[in-house]
């Protein structure tokens, strides 16, 4: 019997209580096969199910039923595991990353990950039939709400996001939930300086190997925040980051903000 399958079954039964234990066994077998194959193709999972003495056709039918089973959803199987894992971070500072990826130029994956130990751990995700990586707040708000329901109490959260997420709705949602944030800004975003002058981000990029720190700017009409721009070879060119974190008082904080990307 495969060792990974037995480990998964032992771990999962701690927080999952299926009506029939055979359902959990089948689930653990399929997940173990997926992890070991590292592929999203059913045929690549078959070698890791060789402990079952049945024909390949029968195996494929079982796997097809597995991937199309409406009862196998993240809310039932993955969320309890993640919530249990996150309890170890109660009261700690957490860094989350919001990102998108395109799949076959047809589907857009939106996910929020925990940045921990040099790795990113997916907390919630959704796949949309959407031909662009640019998405609106209404598309990814359910992902944020799901993550919020999983986080342990009294945790300090900072959300990091790349260009394309400079949405007023997102920032107001973050403010309402008391999350800090740092979002990379597009070059054409309008920024109102403390002097009242409005400029595009590209006009605030410094000369090579320099950085600017601009506190107390306004973007998107009513969002008060801070702006950091840099033009560094080791950062692959120019960068602009908006944040509610007052890194103006510490240059190291600026570099850490840029380096997280």
> Structurally, how many domains does the chain consist of?
3
Q: Are residues 227 and 248 in the same domain?
A: yes
Q: What is the largest CA-CA distance in the chain?
A: 75
What mean pLDDT is reported for the chain? 87
Q: Are residues 56 and 153 in the same domain?
A: no
Q: Which domain-ending residue is among 166, 183, 200? A: 183
Q: Are residues 179 and 229 in the same domain?
A: no
Q: Are residues 135 and 194 in the same domain?
A: no
Which two structure tokens, joined as six digits, stand for 46?
């078959």
pTM, full prediction? 0.84
The pLDDT of residue 203: 95
H helix runs in 42-179, sequence order = 56-68, 74-86, 137-150, 168-176
The pLDDT of residue 107: 94
Which two structure tokens, joined as six digits, stand for 94?
């957490």
Q: Which domain-ending residue is among 71, 101, 118? A: 71
CA angle centred on 106, ends 105 and 109, rounded to 5°: 90
CA angle centred on 12, ends 11 and 16, rounded to 5°: 140
Which two structure tokens, joined as six digits, stand for 23?
């359902």
Q: Which domain-ending residue is among 129, 164, 183? A: 183
Q: What is the CATH number of the domain that holds 99?
A: 3.30.420
Which residue is listed with tokens 């989350």? 96
pLDDT tops 90 at residue 253:
no
Instruction: Give the tens place of pLDDT for each residue, 207-220.
Output: 988 888 899 999 99
The pLDDT of residue 13: 83
pLDDT tops 60 at residue 80:
yes
Which residue is listed with tokens 């997940």? 31
Q: Distance between CA atoms of 14 and 153, rounded to whole angstroms?
A: 22
146 lies in which domain range?
A: 73-183
Q: Are residues 117 and 39 in the same domain?
A: no
C-alpha distances (whole Å) from 30 to each of 6, 21, 72, 127, 138 are 12, 15, 12, 21, 33
Q: Distance between CA atoms of 144 and 161, rounded to whole angstroms?
A: 12
Q: Are residues 43 and 26 in the same domain?
A: yes
3-state helix, strand, coil in the chain (%, to 5): 40, 30, 30
């Amino acid at each position: 019997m495969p060792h990974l399958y037995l480990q998964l079954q032992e771990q999962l039964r701690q927080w999952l209580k299926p009506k029939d234990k055979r359902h959990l066994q089948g689930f653990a077998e399929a997940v173990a096969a997926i992890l070991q194959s590292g592929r999203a193709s059913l045929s690549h999972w078959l070698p890791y199910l060789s402990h079952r003495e049945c024909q390949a056709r029968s195996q494929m039918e079982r796997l097809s039923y597995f991937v199309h089973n409406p009862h196998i959803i993240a809310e039932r199987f993955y969320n309890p595991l993640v919530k249990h894992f996150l309890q170890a971070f109660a009261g700690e500072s957490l860094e989350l990353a919001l990102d998108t990826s395109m799949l076959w130029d047809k589907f857009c994956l939106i996910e929020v990950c925990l940045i921990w130990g040099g790795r990113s751990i997916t907390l919630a995700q959704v796949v949309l039939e959407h031909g662009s990586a640019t998405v609106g707040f209404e598309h990814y708000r359910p992902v944020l709400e799901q993550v919020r329901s999983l986080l342990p109490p009294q945790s300090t959260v900072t959300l990091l996001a790349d260009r394309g997420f400079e949405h007023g709705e997102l920032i107001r949602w973050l403010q309402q939930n008391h999350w800090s944030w740092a979002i990379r800004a597009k070059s054409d975003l309008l920024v109102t300086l403390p002097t009242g002058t409005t400029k595009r981000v590209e006009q605030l990029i410094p000369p090579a190997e320099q950085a600017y720190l601009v506190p107390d700017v306004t973007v998107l009409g009513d969002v008060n925040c801070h702006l950091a721009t840099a033009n560094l070879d080791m950062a692959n060119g120019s960068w602009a980051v908006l944040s509610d974190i007052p890194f103006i008082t510490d240059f190291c904080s600026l570099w850490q903000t840029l380096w997280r990307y």
